[in-house]
Structures are given as C-alpha cells and as structure tokens.
Amino acid sequence: MKKEIRYRLDGLEIVVHNLHHNAELMKYMSFNLHKEPFNLFNNHGLYWIWGQTMSNQILNFYKAIVKDEKFSFAKIINVAKEIKSEADYELLERETNALKAQYDQTDFEKVRSKYIAHQDLRVPEIRTDLLTMISLTEKTIELFLLFSKEFKGRKVNLSDHIVKSFNKIFSTIDEYEWVKAFLIAKRIKGNDTVRISEIASSLKEHRRILKKRGLK
C-alpha cells in the first residue's frame, strides 16, 4: 500500500472506531438501562452523556462521508486515483455514493451545521432516530472494511471493551444493591452476623440469573 493511502486509511480508521464505540454506548444507554435505578429518563448526567455521544457521532459521520473532509471515502478515492493506486474504483464509488445517499436522507447534516458545529446552546433538545444512526454506522463500517480490502490494508478488529467497561459500572451497582437487600433480609430475620460464604453464594446466584436472562 502506498504511503499516502495508508495515511488516509489510518485517519478514517480512527473515525470508524469512534463510530463503533459511540453506537455501542448509545444502544446500551437506550436499551439496557430502563430497569436500572439510574437511566436516561431520571438522570441528567446520563442524558447529557448520551447527547454528547450522539453529537460526536454526527460529527464523525460528516468526517467519513462528506467528500471534502480529509479522511472521507470520497477523498481517499480521489487521492488513490491521482497516485494510480490499484483498486476496483467502480465498486468503491458505487458503494460510497450509496452511503452518501443514505446520509442525505437523514437530518444529521442539518443538525450538525445548525446546532453542533456552531454550538447553539439555545436549542433545548435535539432529537434523532437512533435506529437510523445505528444503520448508518453499520454501513459506514462495512464500507471502510471494503476500502481496507481493496487497498490491501491491515485487518481491522472492532472491540467492545468501551461498552463493556461502561456496563461494569452498572453491574457493580446491581451487585451492591443485591448484597444490601440480602443483608437487610437477614437482619429482618434476626441474624446479626452473616458469613462471607453466604454473601458469595448469593452473588453467584444473582449472576447466574442475569446470565440466564442474557443480561450479563
């Protein structure tokens, strides 16, 4: 792979990792916290994090999809053609245009240019379709993997360590609440002391139940 293409793909890869992690975090906060004591509906901090993540996602879509951006798909195609790098340009251009068409059907560019880019803090709330955002993220990642394949780039692995570390916060809170409820129940029954092994056994059962429900 020629140095200039490697440079452009490396820049785009950073954008793609951001898109992946942002999407996973938004899905987790939107779909996995409704039964938690803290969630998007009752915690302003989590809601703010969700909004900032969404804003960052829209900015990263712009970086990857809008042709004039330094590490966009269209820019990489133009640079590759100029330096005569071998690739199936008909395929890459067709898929890039399809992604741009999908992007143009959303309101992300309007939100980016009107609110996010100018930091218009007077806007009380910005609403977007999460499922559309997830779909566009998946298509962007698929196209990046196609570019990497065509230009013979290195294999890219997208990890889930960010969302797992976020989940760890809430699973730890759950376990704390479980232990607290277990100790209160023991106290109500008149037990002033509890063996560590009993707590460990109770936690093990709690984790087993969560695993069976597919929550852990």
> In the chain, what is the straight-line distance between the N-terminal and C-terminal CA atoms, in Å?
41
CB atoms within 10 A of CB 203: 14
CB atoms under 10 Å from CB of 120, counted, come to 10
**Residues of the chain whose pLDDT is less than 50?**
121-125
Burial of 208 (C-beta count, 10 Å sphere; 0-12/13-18/19+): exposed
Rounded Cα–Cα distance for residues 51 and 55 (Å) = 6
The model's pLDDT over 187-198, given as tens digits with 9 standing for 90+, comes to 788 887 878 887
**Contact (Cβ atoms closer than 8 angstroms) between residue 113 and residue 38:** no
- Measured over the CA atoms of residue 20, residue 23, residue 29 and residue 32, the dihedral's sign is negative
DSSP state of 160: -
pLDDT digit string, tens, across residues 39-85: 778 888 888 888 889 889 999 999 999 988 999 999 999 999 999 99
Average pLDDT, the chain: 84
